[in-house]
Amino acid sequence: MASPANRKPIMILYTGSDPYSHRSRIVLFEKEVECQVTEIDPNKKPRELADTNPYNEVPTLIDRDLNLYNSLIINEYLDERLPHPPLMPVDPVSRARARMMLYRFDRDWYSLIPDITDGDKKVSTKAKNTLRDGLTVISPIFKGQQFILGEEFSLVDCALAPILWRLKAYDISLPRQAKPILEYAERVFARKSFKLSLTEAEKGMR
């Protein structure tokens, strides 16, 4: 949500066109929070980013005197700081399961992105096949429910959506048996928050 020119925003999110930044932008627009979203050129990072994040990377969220980095931490903070609409289950068991899914997405799939985009042909092909097969395996989940955790959109969906949006850019085609996850992807892409979250570079990925 854009901030009026004469008002200082409560929050500032430094972001890039990478999938980690993308999932935090989806959360922001789901929450409809007043926030200044500042897109960073990875080759010309501003001094203030290094001043607020020791790793000099995006996404980085500034909320008054609090500086946060790591998109998973940022997203959980936003969900707790701005509880409506809730993006995590209420009960501890379901929340733990959601966090395990987020952890697995990062470890199993997000970790493949550098190999897909920057690896040599052999390494890239292997990573693409691993991601394709992993998405195909979870596809049956969506035969009987709208979203990953059931009928409610969650932080887990926010984490998966950026990968699905980039499949064409990664030159990954899912097989016919993955139809349920492709239909799920279109449901997510149709959400207002997702459309608003896209940078110009991301709009050109499909």
Query: What pLDDT does 3 receive?
Result: 47
Q: Is 129 helix (H, G, I), strand (E, B) or coil?
A: helix
Residue 97 CB partners (closer than 8 Å, separation 6+): 89
Query: What pLDDT does 7 receive?
Result: 54
Query: What pLDDT does 4 receive?
Result: 44
Taking the chain (206 residues) in consecutive chunks of 10 residues, what is each chunk's mean pLDDT? Answer: 54 96 98 92 91 95 95 97 94 96 97 94 97 98 95 97 98 97 98 97 94
Query: What pLDDT does 51 receive?
Result: 93
Q: Choose among 174, 172, 192: nearest CA to 183.
A: 174
C-alpha span between 202 and 206 (Å, rounded): 8
Q: Domains in the chain, please, with CATH? A: 11-85+198-202 (3.40.30.10), 92-191 (1.20.1050.10)
C-alpha span between 55 and 50 (Å, rounded): 7
Query: What pLDDT does 2 receive?
Result: 47
Exposed e or buried b for every residue in 164-188, given b needs 16+ CB within 10 A?
bbbbeebebebeeebebbeebbeeb
Whether the pTM exceeds 0.85: the reply is: yes
